[in-house]
Amino acid sequence: MLEDNNLPTHTGDADDDRGSPPLAHYPLEWIITHCRVQMELFHQGQPDDPRFCHELLRRAFEAHDPEASDEVFVLFAPPLRRWFLRHVEAALVDDLVQETFARLLEKSRQGTFHVSAYTLSQVRSFIHGCACQVVQEEQRRQSRTPVALPEPTARCWNDPGPSTEDLVEWRFRLADLMHRSEALLPHGPSAALKPQCPDGYGLDITELRSFRARMLVSLLRHRLPPDEWDLVNQRYLHGMKPRDIARQAGVEVGQVYTRLASLMRRLRADTTLKDLLSGDG
């Protein structure tokens, strides 16, 4: 077992630490522990040793270790979320964080992101640069008139799915529910109240959210091809982690992140789904 007293001394170059095993030989849990310590020192403005985070990033982006990828997400996603919240709608934040990590993976594959060549400050700046690109592209998308996705030419399920009349009725009912919730809840749709509507039936924000969720699920189920529906179902309805989806499908976790990011970009551009994928209701 590798003990902390075998910890490589900081010389600025891992190859200069003779007598210590390379960091690639250390258990992931050990690397994660020391990476967190060094990240904390970095955030406090104290001297840090970036090699542990380099090794974690190497395992995530170059060795495609799903557990290392999860830890990188844990370390870097929170500040990304806070930054995105200042620039885009809250409903888009998680998707854009996911898109940023997909970009990092792609840049690593292209050889433009060499983790061992950067200080922690430079790593953070590189990630921030990817996030800026993602936001700029999202803002450009929102400035253009979105185009609806075409209806699929073949059905893969026994039931026919919602008809055009259903969609019109649902959209009017959803708009009515959202209007009622805005008008009747004194503190907005997030207030935990159950007002009585003029026609006598009860309405609360839970019903509104549940109805919108059911509508969205039905639309996705009948408009997405089976493989994309399975991905949405696993990630968003069953809450599976990307690494578990990857393990089940027998693919790299990076492919899951990339597919999710690409799918969400396309869905957000669909006029039918736009209102259902954003907003507070």
Q: How many domains does the chain have?
A: 2
| pLDDT given for residue 260 in this prediction | 86
Examine the domain organization and report whether 227 and 124 are in the same domain: no
Inside any domain, residue 17:
no
- The pLDDT score that the predictor gives to residue 33 is 92
pLDDT at 187: 44
Domain that holds residue 33: 22-137
Q: Assess whether 99 and 190 both reside in one domain.
A: no
**If pLDDT is split at 50, 70 and 90, which confidence band does 189 have?**
very low
Q: For residue 266, is pLDDT > 80?
A: yes
Instruction: Name which of 157-171, 178-192, 203-217, 231-245 the model is least confident about.
Output: 178-192
Do residues 188 and 280 lie in contact, with contact meaning Cβ atoms separated by under 8 Å? Answer: yes
Average pLDDT on 96-114 reads 80
Tell me the whole-structure pTM to 2 decimals. 0.48
What mean pLDDT is reported for the chain? 70
Query: What are the distances in angstroms from CA 155 to CA 141, 164, 221, 226, 229?
Result: 30, 16, 10, 10, 13
Residue 253 covered by a domain: yes
CA distance 193 to 120: 47
DSSP state of 149: P
- Per-residue pLDDT averaged across 244-262, rounded? 82
Task: Count other Cβ atoms within 10 Å, centred on residue 13.
Answer: 9
Same domain, 124 and 83: yes
Q: Is residue 143 part of a domain?
A: no
- For 193-208, write each residue's pLDDT tens digit: 333 333 333 444 455 5
The span from the CA of 257 to the CA of 226, in Å, is 18
Let me know whether 115 and 34 are in one domain: yes
Distances from the Cα of 146 to the Cα of 262, 265, 273, angstroms: 16, 11, 11
Burial class (CB in 10 A: 0-12, 13-18, 19+), 9: exposed
Q: For residue 240, is pLDDT > 50? A: yes
pLDDT at 34: 92
User: Is residue 7 assigned to a domain?
Assistant: no
Q: At 7, give phi and psi (nearest 5°).
A: -60, 130
Mean pLDDT of all residues in 240-265: 82
- Do both 129 and 169 map to the same domain? no
Q: Does the residue 146 lie in any domain?
A: no
**Does residue 217 form part of some domain?**
yes
